[in-house]
Structure 1
């Protein structure tokens, strides 16, 4: 967030693009966290409350990254007068993540 605000203040196009390109790193970290926490919750239901709190924290941080990316796109437009038309980097795969839950023996 600080990087994109610095880019805005300095009208620094390269810095804004760097923030925009790093969004996929934040998305990938959140997807990894989601998978890990889901596994912990499945292994021991006593972990569910704690893991859900961490999951919500992680999602909020991921959303901050998305907002920083929006600001970077605005900085690009502010400097160039042209909207950023490139495909936004996206690696948040949690909407399509599935983990097979082991079946208990019968």
Structure 2
């Protein structure tokens, strides 16, 4: 399963409304989890089973909560039983399609 999520605090003390420290706290939890992951400008995507991914997302959300009075969580999941390696597999298939190989 792939889980893409974005988590951000609001109601914090940062005068420029920057959330990079909060995001860093969340990404640190993702990296420490050992799960396959990718972070881009909008989302962090992790791959694993329900329990391990939801645990990481919960802990990342709680970490971000330290930076504000409330937290926004956006979550999208690709649930495809029996498929592993989709974090890279989906991109590889897309690239082949763009090159006209599929």
TM-score w.r.t. structure 1 length? Answer: 0.34
The structure in which a higher percent of residues are helix is 1
Q: Which has the larger radius of gyration?
A: 1
The structure in which a higher percent of residues are strand is 2
